[in-house]
């Protein structure tokens, strides 16, 4: 028997530009990914089509954990990742601009920053749905959800740019640094 995954809770205070309703609806969707991941852990060999969807459910669970924990308050003042970003992207703002530009592309999915531990490269990656385009064996340090469900309680579907702006405002950088450390 495999270990089931618990639905995590996140210590989220009041966010600026992301309402409590928006976040609670989003957390319900997260809980759905956890539930389905756990169901698929016990799928039978006859349920191959379900098993093939495992990456969708599992990453739907895991990426949301990265996402929500970035809004949690963290102590610390590490800037190791920031320095590495500045080295590889010329400036922190250049990295941020690339993320924002990717986030505004058409389609639903995620913008991730991963660290390739074979050489330290920090790569920005577009992932369609939750699983299409993930790079094998890479450590995720940053995750931005740009599915419409992430913002359409608070914003119109055409207002993704406003959501991305709100996301940056609420991002606790230390949560991202911790993953890199």
Residues that bind Fe ion (CB under 5 A): 145, 147, 150
Q: Which is nearer to Fe ion, 129 or 178 (CB)?
A: 129
Q: Which is nearer to Fe ion, 131 or 145 (CB)?
A: 145
The CB-nearest residue to Fe ion is: 145
The minimum distance between CB 55 and Fe ion, in angstroms, equals: 16
The minimum distance between CB 94 and Fe ion, in angstroms, equals: 26
Q: Which is nearer to Fe ion, 85 or 143 (CB)?
A: 143
Q: Which is nearer to Fe ion, 60 or 177 (CB)?
A: 60
The minimum distance between CB 103 and Fe ion, in angstroms, equals: 13
Q: Which is nearer to Fe ion, 90 or 149 (CB)?
A: 149
The minimum distance between CB 70 and Fe ion, in angstroms, equals: 13
Query: CB neighbours of 2 closer than 8 A, spacing ≥ 6?
Result: 41, 42
Residues 32-65 as b or e (16 or more Cβ within 10 Å = b): ebbebbbebbeeeeeeeeeeebeebbbbbbbbbb
For the chain, how far is it from start to end, CA to CA, in angstroms? Answer: 33
Q: How far is CA 34 from CA 7, 62, 66, 85, 92, in A?
A: 6, 9, 14, 32, 33
The minimum distance between CB 98 and Fe ion, in angstroms, equals: 21
C-alpha closest to that of 40 among 64, 24, 60: 60
Contact 30, 66 (CB under 8 A): no
């Amino acid at each position: 028997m495999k270990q089931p995954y618990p639905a995590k809770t996140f210590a989220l205070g009041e966010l600026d530009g992301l309402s409590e309703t928006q976040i609670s609806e989003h957390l319900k969707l997260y809980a759905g990914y956890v539930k389905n991941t756990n169901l698929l852990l016990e799928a039978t060999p006859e349920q191959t089509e379900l098993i093939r969807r495992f990456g969708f459910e599992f990453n739907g669970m895991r990426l949301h954990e990265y996402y929500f924990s970035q809004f949690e308050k963290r102590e610390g003042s590490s800037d190791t990742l920031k320095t590495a970003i500045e080295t590889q992207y010329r400036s922190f703002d250049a990295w941020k601009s690339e993320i924002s530009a990717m986030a505004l592309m058409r389609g639903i999915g995620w913008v991730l920053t991963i660290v390739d531990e074979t050489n330290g490269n920090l790569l920005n990656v577009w992932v369609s749905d939750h699983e299409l385009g993930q790079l094998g064996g890479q450590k995720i340090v940053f995750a931005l959800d740009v599915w419409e469900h992430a913002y359409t309680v608070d914003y119109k579907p055409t207002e993704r740019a406003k959501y991305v702006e709100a996301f940056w405002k609420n991002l606790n950088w230390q949560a991202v640094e911790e993953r890199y450390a």
